[in-house]
Amino acid sequence: MSKTANTALLARFIAIVGERNVLTDPADIAPHLEETRGLFHGDSPLVLKPGSAEEVSAIMKLATETGTVIVPQGGNTGHVGGQIPHDGAIVLSMARMNRIRDVDPAGGTITVESGVILQRLQEAANEAGLMFPLSLASEGTCQIGGNLSTNAGGTAVLAYGNTRQLCLGLEVVLPTGEIWNGLRRLKKDNTGYDLRDLFIGAEGTLGVITAAVMKLSPRPKSIQTVLAGVVDPDAALKLFRLAENTCGPALTGFEIMPRISLEFVLRHIEGARDPFDDAHPWYVLFEISSGQSEEAARGLMESLFEAANENGLIRDAVASETEAQRQSLWLLRESISASQKPEGGSIKHDVSVPVAKVPEFLEKADKAVRERIPGIRVVSFGHLGDGNIHYNLSQPVGADKAQYIARWREMNEIVHGIVLEMGGSISAEHGIGQLKRDELAAIRQPIEIELMRRIKMAFDPAGIMNLDKVVKV
């Protein structure tokens, strides 16, 4: 923000929410300025914690009137710097807007404010006898408003879709302060341009999501969770196809991970254990859910095993018998990022390619990055069923961390080059934020970026809403 807010102006913002609901001490503000990976360090004189859409509206009106940049922030778990303020912008923390406004089990919907933590939303769905399927490693911290603003993915996308597919309606405060009430609960509604999907994934640059109607699903009667050792990504893909054909929509998750990720997790994560006697080059973790019975889910699993064995696709497999066993299998997958930290620097990618091309992508990318940095450790894991790989690169053993991390863009260029050749995406589920904004502009058709700019200017004529994230105006 070129116009750094002065004390008198800050006081006007503070008056809207009250002194109890702001942070002005740099020590209190600090946690709102750093994201988890440490890639971006922000600065801001003020964190506002509004308690209602009306307060957000008053803030946005004042911001538009005075040209003050506002950066909305949920649980601050984003990976691309979209939530980090710069140049004295004001942080709009949604943490106090954490009410569950309504649960409608008959209608299969829940209406929540955007500051509700994902895990609490999952719990509220459970209490109503239903399920909110969105599931992420950061679910204990991230907020549904952030999930919506980044169209978060996670491990249940295969069957239930991204956050976009789980949302029926939104309440949004526009940069100009108007409150759009789009809190609809309808499965079908073809009445004009799809504003809802425009706000979803806009990373807080077009407005502030203050509430949402989310879809709930029936809770499966039984979930069979299986960890299988396979020889390579090609076998994993073949197993995925077989599982899709055998189980149809009952296949509710299909993750892939390499041996090295299991080694990292076993080395660094408390309680992690290898369920197999032998090491396997690759692992898949998949789930089969039945709305009918445990017998039905087991039946599908056994049919799948039979077909997989006929084709020699599985080296070994273990199915969870209890919820505790299920959790211990998922621990091996959900702890991968955390287990990379003690291994030194990690250069990360969140890419997708057409599902059928995942093995080819892995082969090409592995070759290219190993040529560039001998000894680099490829920790490529993720949502095989969605074609989405977290292509994380741990530094060679003994390398200098800072020197290694300084090669982030260089390695991105190699990996993203391969992704783009294969018709893939450089951001499958994390978004653009600050990290990938200029790269996106460089790889996309100029008209696409131009349309995004025009939309941004149509919604935020004063240029105050999370300015210069996603697209530069």
Q: By CB under 8 A, name the one of 16, 58, 84, 206 that touches a copy of itself.
A: 206
322 binds a copy of itself (CB under 8 A): no
Residues 263-292, interacting with a copy of itself (CB under 8 A): 289-292
Within 10 angstroms of residue 191's Cβ, the number of other Cβ atoms is 7
Cβ 270 to a copy of itself shortest distance, Å: 31
> Which range in 28-36, 84-92, 175-183, 224-232 contacts a copy of itself by CB under 8 A?
175-183
Residues 404-423, interacting with a copy of itself (CB under 8 A): 423
> Contact, 415 vs 366, CB < 8 A?
no
> Contact, 121 vs 214, CB < 8 A?
yes
Backbone angles phi, psi at 132, to 5 degrees: -105, 110
SS (H, E, C) 134-174: CCCCCCCCCEHHHHHHCCCCCCCHHHHCCHHHHEEEEEEEC
Cβ 277 to a copy of itself shortest distance, Å: 32
Residues 102, 109: Cα–Cα separation, whole Å: 8
Residues 365-394, interacting with a copy of itself (CB under 8 A): 383, 386-388
**Per-residue binder mask for a copy of itself (CB under 8 A), 133-162, x = binder:** -----------------xx-x---x-x-xx
Cβ 46 to a copy of itself shortest distance, Å: 27
Q: Which residues pair with 228 in a beta bridge?
A: 284, 317
Residues 301, 59: Cα–Cα separation, whole Å: 54
Phi-psi region for residue 168, left (φ > 0), alpha (ψ -120 to 50) or beta? alpha
Residues 250, 246: Cα–Cα separation, whole Å: 9
Cβ 134 to a copy of itself shortest distance, Å: 14
Closest CB to a copy of itself among residues 64, 289: 289
Residues 91-110, interacting with a copy of itself (CB under 8 A): 104, 106-109
Name the CA radius of gyration of the chain, rounded.
23
> Which range in 32-40, 186-194, 258-266, 364-372 contacts a copy of itself by CB under 8 A?
186-194
358 binds a copy of itself (CB under 8 A): no
Residues 115, 92: Cα–Cα separation, whole Å: 11
Q: By CB under 8 A, name the one of 202, 216, 393, 464 that touches a copy of itself.
A: 202
> Contact, 29 vs 85, CB < 8 A?
no
Instruction: Give me 458's structure tokens.
Output: 């149509």
310 binds a copy of itself (CB under 8 A): no
> Contact, 114 vs 75, CB < 8 A?
no
Closest CB to a copy of itself among residues 34, 439: 439
Question: Most distant CA pair in the chain: distance in Å?
Answer: 74
Q: Which residue has the tokens 């997958």?
A: 333
Rounding to the nearest 10 degrees, give the CA dihedral for residues 114, 120, 122, 124.
-100
Residues 337, 341: Cα–Cα separation, whole Å: 7
- Helices 323-334 and 259-268 pack at an angle, to 10 degrees, of 110
Instruction: Give me 112's structure tokens.
Output: 């929540």
Residues 33-92, interacting with a copy of itself (CB under 8 A): none
20 binds a copy of itself (CB under 8 A): no
> Which range in 14-22, 184-192, 315-323, 339-347 contacts a copy of itself by CB under 8 A?
184-192
Cβ 350 to a copy of itself shortest distance, Å: 8
27 binds a copy of itself (CB under 8 A): no
Residues 428-467, interacting with a copy of itself (CB under 8 A): 428-432, 436, 440, 444-445, 447-449, 451-452, 454-459
- Site size toward a copy of itself, by CB under 8 A: 92
DSSP 178: P
Residues 212-241, interacting with a copy of itself (CB under 8 A): 218, 220, 241
Q: By CB under 8 A, name the one of 29, 296, 313, 362 that touches a copy of itself.
A: 296
Cβ 351 to a copy of itself shortest distance, Å: 9
Q: By CB under 8 A, name the one of 188, 278, 324, 397 that touches a copy of itself.
A: 188
> Which range in 9-17, 21-29, 179-187, 339-347 contacts a copy of itself by CB under 8 A?
179-187
